[in-house]
Amino acid sequence: MSEQHIDGEILTARQVALLAAIQNRLIPAQDEMPGAGDAGCAQTVDGFLKERTALRRPILAALNEIEATAGAYAQASADDEASTHVAFLALSDAERDAALRAVEAAHPDLFNTLLRQTYTAYYTNPAVLRILGWRPPQPEGYPTPPPFDEKLLDNVKRRGKLWRDA
Amino acid sequence: MAPERDVADVLIIGAGASGAAAAWSLASGGLDVVCLEQGDWVDPTDYPHHSPDWELHRQTDFAKDPNVRQRPEDYPLNNDDTPIVPLMFNAVGGSTVHWSGHFPRFRPSDFRVKTLDDVADDWPLTYWDLEPYYEENDANIGVSGLEGDPSGPPRLPRQTPPLGLDAAARAYIRGLKKLGWHWWPTENALITAPFGEGRQACNYCGPCDMGCPRGAMSSAHVTYWPAALAKGARLITRARVREITVDRRGRASGAVYYTPDGGIAQQRARVVIVACNGVGTPRLLLNSVSSLFPHGLANSNGLVGANLMFHPIAFVSGVFSDRVDGHAGPVGLLLHCHEFYETDLSRGFVRGIKIQLCRESGPVSTAIGNFPGEAVPWGAAHHRVQRERSAHSLAIAIMVEDLPEAHNRVELDPTLTDSNGIPAPRVSYTVSENSRRALDFGIARARELLEAAGATEIMHQALARNSGWHLMGTARMGDNPGKSVIDRYGRAHDVPNLFIIDGSIFVTSAAVNPTSTIQALALYVSDWLKHNFREVA
């Protein structure tokens, strides 16, 4: 593991590490943008799982499928499995992406749940939103645009009545 | 004579769009009104609009699907057998607490589909019967927009001006002008200038679908309820009705409900009005079983729960190279196009469609593909595509008229219950061939429009699952007691002092949002009841 992970509310430290590594492939670091795992989205998703029990089964199943697929890749490339507790972490970036694509194809519903929750965690992360320039909708709202110009409707008005008498 | 406090003149069940309007109207007429509502007032500080994680709340406590939201006041639904999920909010104000607030009226032809197009049934009343109540309702709650739309009958000046001319509007207008199609600024249950007490005009913050912390949306809890309470109506919240009770003559006598601590209470009344929406109303009637009504109240012909109509909706999303700031402004409100509203059989379907030109929302909505139904790709391309779509996308909703079919229905689930043990609804629904053809036609038109407007990428979602906002038809109105549940005045054919006023009484659905018509009907029924109360009670 590249860094120490601790147990979450629902996920074990091993699952947090696996999820963070997956998330760094789903939304990788690029320019000023952090990778989703590095931004703390695994811990955020762990929080979602605590609050929303219905998410636990698909997210845990997705993690299991990805890890199982990664295990097969690791074996195929004759890696030493004992060197890590998380097979996915033993893979190269290209192998990680291949494992993710395999699970996405085989279990689209599970994968999409994991993807959706990762996206939700990332784009509600205050640090990410700050970099992107997003702020909450209130209290400022957005600037009031110029008043509507009724002249724009002249052509529509010229066509006359469009409804049926009844 | 002062009313007996334990026997109300009128008991209304449900404090949403229709129940609120009726409570105001009846209390204004001097009747003693009690309303039972399973939800509570929404605390204005609960709205998520001030929080960085505001978009998360679309998936949690402000989700439109009660099965996802799972607040204590929500009841579960079995949606295994429907491609469209019923959406609602259980609170004072009902589903008007979190809605888009698009507020069109039905057209005259919408009440006459049998006569004009030989499908379904005519309504027992006309547009012109309802017109004064549409006007009264608009004046009561405050509607923004612009009179003079040639796609419908004339109306009085709107209470506040239409939404302003922003980048999103200009993009759409560019395409509409090229195509020469009808368009007009939407009519909105939203104020763009001061109107009413304690309400602030819209400040274009965007996510109306999670409620409005400013009171700009003309929702029932900020319009009718304060006025109804001032007129003496009594509103009992966190009161979940188990059943409507009947006396030995088969007349409604009140309702039994659960209190927040799980206790049971009863409210007696001379007249009972059901206003629980197109799913909740049939559920309550079917749960109100007695020796006189063994198949549920007002259900001697088996039509309670039948003929469920949604508005099947497709979304078509366009990405623009210039910013269109789809997040800035009411998400569902901007312009509408009724070019294809009236029947033209050469299109391959009967009745029509509405093209509703909407906006987008924040970065989560963009990333998960809320409108296009297609998430931003993961991996190396993610940041580039997210940047291209974010603040550069607009979404069009295609809404089609859904015709009534008896097999589309709300029943009681044999095992599923709410937290009080009351049987929950089970929804069975299929999208008809006519609706599917109308959706496909609309998708093709929306693609044309987005292309004409200059979109560089166009995606669509052929049928949005989370789109069952409009719940209609499950206790339909009609003159023939064998073919309908209530008469032309909202009174149950089987129970002379029982009225129904929500979307379940719709005979047909039109292709426009229903709440304006729901509230006009509630005022119309209430007016009749006020003038005939002695006879009815």
pTM exceeds cut of 0.90: yes
CA distance A61 to chain B (A): 19
Would residue B17 count as lying in a domain? Answer: yes
Whether B493 and chain A come into contact, CB under 8 Å, resolves to no
Q: How many CB atoms lie within 10 A of CB A3?
A: 8
Q: How many domains does chain B have?
A: 1
Q: B interface mutation test: which of A134, A135, A161 has the most B CBs within 10 A?
A: A134
Beta-carbon separation of A162 and B184 below 8 A: no
| Residue B88 belongs to a domain | yes
A-proximal residues of B, 391-410, CB under 8 Å: none
Q: Evaluate whether B452 touches B396 at the Cβ level (below 8 Å).
A: no
pLDDT score of A77: 55
Residue B226 lies in a domain: yes
Set of chain A residues whose Cβ sits within 8 Å of the Cβ of B380 = 28
DSSP label at B39? Answer: S
Helix%, strand%, coil% for chain B, nearest 5: 30, 20, 50
Among the partner residues A28, A144, A159, nearest to B164 by beta-carbon distance: A144
Say whether pLDDT at A55 is over 80.
Answer: yes
Q: Looking at chain B from residue 96 to 125, which residues have their Cβ under 8 Å from any Cβ of chain A?
A: 107-109, 111-112, 115-116
Confidence (pLDDT) at B474: 98
| Alpha-carbon gap: A16 to the closest alpha carbon of chain B (Å) | 19
pLDDT digits (tens, 9 = 90+) for B440-498: 999 999 999 999 999 999 999 999 999 999 999 999 999 999 999 999 999 999 999 99
First vs last C-alpha separation in chain A: 73
Query: Does a structural domain hold residue B1?
Result: no
Q: How much is the CA Rg of chain A, to the nearest whole Å?
A: 23
The alpha-carbon gap from B245 to the nearest alpha carbon of chain A, in Å, equals 37
Distance from CA of B342 to the nearest CA of A (A): 7
Q: Does A149 touch chain B (CB under 8 A)?
A: yes
Would you state the structure tokens that stand for residue A90, as one six-digit string? 């033993």
- Going A148 to A149 to A153 to A157, the CA torsion angle's sign is positive
Question: Using the beta-carbon criterion (under 8 Å), do A163 and B152 form an inter-chain contact?
Answer: yes
- B160 token code pair: 């506040």
- Residue whose pair of structure tokens reads 């890890």 in the numeric block: A67
With b for 16 or more beta-carbon neighbours within 10 A and e for fewer, the B123-142 pattern comes to bbbebeebbebbbbbbebbb
B230 Cβ neighbours under 8 A, 6+ residues apart:
none
Instruction: Answer whether A97 sits within 8 Å of B50, measured CB to CB.
Output: no
Alpha-carbon Rg for chain B, nearest whole angstrom, is 22
B contacts of A116 (beta carbons < 8 Å): 368, 375
Task: List, in sequence order, the alpha helices (H) in A91-144.
Answer: 93-106, 108-122, 126-132
**Is some CB atom of chain A closer than 8 A to the CB atom of B146?**
yes
Give Cα B185 distance to the centre of its chain. 20
Inter-residue contact B321 to B479 (CB < 8 Å): no
- Three-state DSSP class for residue A72: helix
> For residue range A91-106, what is the model confidence (pLDDT) as tens digits?
999 999 999 999 999 9
Sequence letter at residue B182: H
The CB density around residue B83, as the number of other CB atoms within 10 Å, is 15
A122–B378 C-beta distance less than 8 A: no
Assigned token pair, B249: 């003559």
For residues B218 and B476, give the distance between their C-alpha atoms in angstroms, rounded to a whole number: 27
Do the chains contact at A136 and B54, CB–CB below 8 Å? yes
Residue B332, in any domain of the structure = yes
Q: Residue A156: pLDDT above 90?
A: yes
Distance from CA of A38 to the nearest CA of B (A): 15
For residue B389, the chain A residues in CB contact (below 8 A) are none
Residue whose entry in the numeric block shows the structure tokens 């033209």? B344
**Per-residue model confidence (pLDDT) at position A85:** 73
CATH code at B232? 3.50.50.60
pLDDT of residue B147: 96
SS3 B14: coil
In this structure, chain B runs to a length of 537
**Binary contact (B111, A166; C-beta < 8 A):** yes
| Minimum CA–CA partner of A123 in chain B | B364
Does any CB of chain A come closer than 8 Å to the CB of residue B326?
no
Sequence-distant (≥ 6) Cβ neighbours of residue B30 within 8 angstroms = none
Residue at B225 is within a domain: yes
User: Which residues does chain A have within 8 Å of residue B165's beta carbon, measured at their own beta carbons?
Assistant: 145-149, 152
Q: Do B164 and A123 touch (CB under 8 A)?
A: no
Of B329, B342, B383, the CB nearest to A163: B342
Q: Find which of B116, B350, B378, B384 to mutate to test the A interface (most A CBs within 10 Å of its CB).
A: B378
Question: pLDDT of A61-117, one tens digit each?
Answer: 999 999 999 988 776 554 444 444 789 999 999 999 999 999 999 999 999 999 999
Tell whether B367 lies on the interface with A, counting CB pairs under 8 A.
yes
Dist CA B396 CA B275 (whole Å): 31
Which residue stretches of chain B have pLDDT < 50? Answer: 1-4
Please tell me which residue, B44 or A25, carries the higher pLDDT value: A25
DSSP labels, B390-455? TTSEEEEEEEEPPPP-TTSEEEEEEEEE-TT-PEEEEEE----HHHHHHHHHHHHHHHHHHHHHT-
Phi, psi of B318 (to 5 degrees): -120, 140
The pair of structure tokens assigned to B426 is 């089970």
In a domain, B163, yes or no: yes
Shortest Cα distance, chain A CAs vs residue B436, angstroms: 24
The answer to whether residue B503 sits within a structural domain is yes
Whether residue B161 lies within 8 A of chain A, CB to CB, comes out as yes
Q: Which domain holds residue B372?
A: 7-536
CB contact under 8 A, A162 and B362: no
Q: Which of residues 51-110 of A touch B (CB under 8 A)?
A: 51-52, 54, 97, 100
Contact B318, B393 (CB under 8 A): yes
Residues 177-206 of B with CB under 8 A from A: 177, 180, 182-185, 202-206
